């Protein structure tokens, strides 16, 4: 029996598990294998989009084709709304459609693990994400890279979130960072590297400790006061390169 046939006769659950380790563009490409594979990609519990990887793999691909591909994949899956375990998105911060993509994924696909990374040719202007992420009842892991926050909705409510990783994230004021933590009542793991606050002001009387927090690893923090009350229950706490800059110039994060 040919190898292709041996693979095709595997149960759908096994095939979907295998496909979940592939980039989404490769998963969708399997639809040409046979009739059985045409709709199998809709059952894969992972969406993995990387703008640079997508256009580098084919000289005919462009930013516009990447945008169309993401739309087609997310909207195509909405007609058969299989829950998404992991949603991974890496794209240029200039792509404005990311808000629509993330809203659709969060509202329709019950995402559990979300990782977002914005890249910019200027290496200076982070991206923004929709407020809908911060009221998700399904998110367990949230990883944000090169993201900026000017404000949050009326309240952050992430009742299922256990792991929060922040890398090169900018907050307009320190209070927003603590509001984010306040909305994660069962948070167990916090990693923050390269967090920057434009204003270091915060309301100390509104701070609460995180009772479930086991470990916190904070490094390269600028203008973020380390309120020990928040981390009073941790078993492991690492602080490295935490500094306060009185005359910090970072206006480009909030254009």
Non-local (6+) Cβ contacts of 43 within 8 A are: 12, 16, 80, 82
CB atoms under 10 Å from CB of 83, counted, come to: 11
Which segments of 79-197 does DSSP mark as H helices, in order?
A: 98-109, 174-182
Q: CA geometry: angle at 173 spanning 167 and 179, to 5°?
A: 75
Q: What is the sign, positive or negative, of the torsion defined by CA atoms of 213, 156, 98, 18?
A: positive
Q: Where are any strands of DSSP class E within 182-228?
A: 189-193, 196-199, 215-222
Residue-wise pLDDT tens digits, 183-237: 999 999 999 998 988 877 777 767 788 889 999 999 888 877 777 778 888 889 8
Domains of the chain in sequence order = 45-254 (3.80.10)
pLDDT band at 127 (very low <50, low <70, confident <90, very high): confident
Q: What is the pLDDT, as a whole number, of residue 130?
A: 86
Answering whether pTM is above 0.75, one says yes
Residue-wise pLDDT tens digits, 78-93: 555 678 899 999 998 8
Q: What is the pLDDT, as a whole number, of residue 255?
A: 38
């Amino acid at each position: 029996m040919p190898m292709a046939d041996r693979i095709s006769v595997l149960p759908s659950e096994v095939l979907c598990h295998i496909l979940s380790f592939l980039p989404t563009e490769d998963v969708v490409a399997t639809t040409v294998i046979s009739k059985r594979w045409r709709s199998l990609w809709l059952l894969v519990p992972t969406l993995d989009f990387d703008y640079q990887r997508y256009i580098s793999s084919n000289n005919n691909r462009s930013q516009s084709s990447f945008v169309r591909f993401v739309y087609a994949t997310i909207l195509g899956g909405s007609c058969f709304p299989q829950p998404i375990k992991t949603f991974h998105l890496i794209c240029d911060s200039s792509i404005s459609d990311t808000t629509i993509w993330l809203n659709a994924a969060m509202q329709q696909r019950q995402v559990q693990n979300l990782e977002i990374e914005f890249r910019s040719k200027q290496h200076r202007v982070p991206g923004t994400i929709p407020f809908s992420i911060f009221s998700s009842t399904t998110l367990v892991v949230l990883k944000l890279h090169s993201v900026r926050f000017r404000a949050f909705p009326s309240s952050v409510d992430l009742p299922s979130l256990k792991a929060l990783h922040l890398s090169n994230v900018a907050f307009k004021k320190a209070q927003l960072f603590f509001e984010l933590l306040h909305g994660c009542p069962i948070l167990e793991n916090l990693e923050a590297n390269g967090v920057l606050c434009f204003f270091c002001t915060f309301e100390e009387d509104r701070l609460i400790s995180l009772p479930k927090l086991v470990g916190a690893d904070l490094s390269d923090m600028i203008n973020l006061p380390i309120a020990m009350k928040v981390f009073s229950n941790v078993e492991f706490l690492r602080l490295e390169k935490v500094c306060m800059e009185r005359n910090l110039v970072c206006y480009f994060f909030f254009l």
